[in-house]
Amino acid sequence: MQNMTRFLIKRILWLIPVLLGVYVLVFSVLYLCPGDPATFVLGTDATQEELDAFRHEYGLDQTYIVRLVNSMKATFLDFDFGKSYITGGSVGDQLKVRLPYTLLISYIGIALAVLIGIPLGIIAATNQNTWKDSLAILVSLFATSMPSFWFALILVMYFGLKLRILPTIGVESWKGYIIPCVATAIGGAAGIARQTRSSMLEVIRQDYIVTARAKGQKEFKVIGYHGLKNALIPVITIVGSNMAALVGNSLICENIFSIPGIGAYLISGVNRRDFPVVLGCVVVLCLIFSLTMLVLDIIYAVVDPRLRSIH
């Protein structure tokens, strides 16, 4: 219990330098971007007085260090992401409204990837060199090579335009989440399936699997309990490595289907040089990813208790 507590504390403390580092990096990139946000927002016809007033209101007339320190204090101490250059509204309020859409698409996509990938990999491994194995490998290769946005458009054309059973835009009901979530999951599911197959092939050749079968245990228990449990570590690793890609796919799907999530808000901020929006979105996405990786680290420790003592 003490090892687990120490393990969790270390992992949580690591989130602090990660968030600060990402914040400084993104802020610096935005600061060094060429062009004047005041001119971009107000237009070339704005007077010098209007430009100066805009820069003063948003602190753009201050030095890099002053702006960085003030921005970090507001974000991490007051939980205030500032105001949008374009609308003048609170970025934090917009993020609160948009965050649930992104979380739903991302985590449902991750769950689907796991629920599809692991069984597919197990089927391939337990039926090695058969048509089932070949079919699973073919499906995995096809899904891996297929961009998520292209697969999303295919689903829209077939289920939305031809069959007319799913909406092609928006999320007015639960049906609106089906195509974005499936499109988000497909690439991750393929990677998980390949890793599961590889891990299971290595595990099912071990002596303890042979012993379990010799004792007369049912094949389902041998594979599901003895085999899968010991093959999970590499699978969890591939899930973690695919996490950023899955979140990125969800952001792409938000724009394809006009879903009012963080992804659409982020791209809008980039296109309009709305730096507080960009910074706020990146920080929230970084926090989501970091917390997700923390959960995976906890699962690591539960599956393999040896990791607690190592860390």
Segment 148-169, tens digit of pLDDT: 778 888 888 888 888 888 887 7
Are 61 and 151 part of one and the same domain? no
Q: Which distant-in-sequence residues (6+ apart) come within 8 Å of 294 by Cβ?
A: 11, 12, 15
Domain limits at 53? 2-76
Tens digits of residue pLDDT in 95-135? 999 888 888 888 888 888 888 888 888 888 888 888 888 88
Q: What is the mean pLDDT of the chain?
A: 82
What's the CA gap between 118 and 227, in Å, rounded?
12
pLDDT at position 308 is 52
Tell me how far apart the alpha carbons of residues 55 and 26 are, in angstroms, rounded to a whole number. 20
Indicate whether 256 belongs to any domain. yes
Residue 133 belongs to domain with CATH number = 1.10.3720.10
pLDDT of residue 106: 84
User: Looking at the 3D structure of the chain, how many domains does it have?
Assistant: 2
Domain boundary among the residues 24, 41, 76 is at 76
Q: What is the pLDDT, as a whole number, of residue 307? A: 56
> Is 72 found in the same domain as 122?
no
Do 246 and 192 form a contact (C-beta atoms < 8 A)? no
Tell me, yes or no, whether 87 lies in a domain: no
Of the candidates 259, 242, 256, the residue with the CA atom closest to the CA atom of residue 154:
256
At 22-73, the pLDDT tens digits run 899 989 988 888 877 888 888 878 888 888 888 888 888 888 899 999 888 9
Whole-model pTM: value is 0.78
Task: Give the CA radius of gyration of the chain.
Answer: 24
7 and 154 together in one domain: no
Inside any domain, residue 81 = no
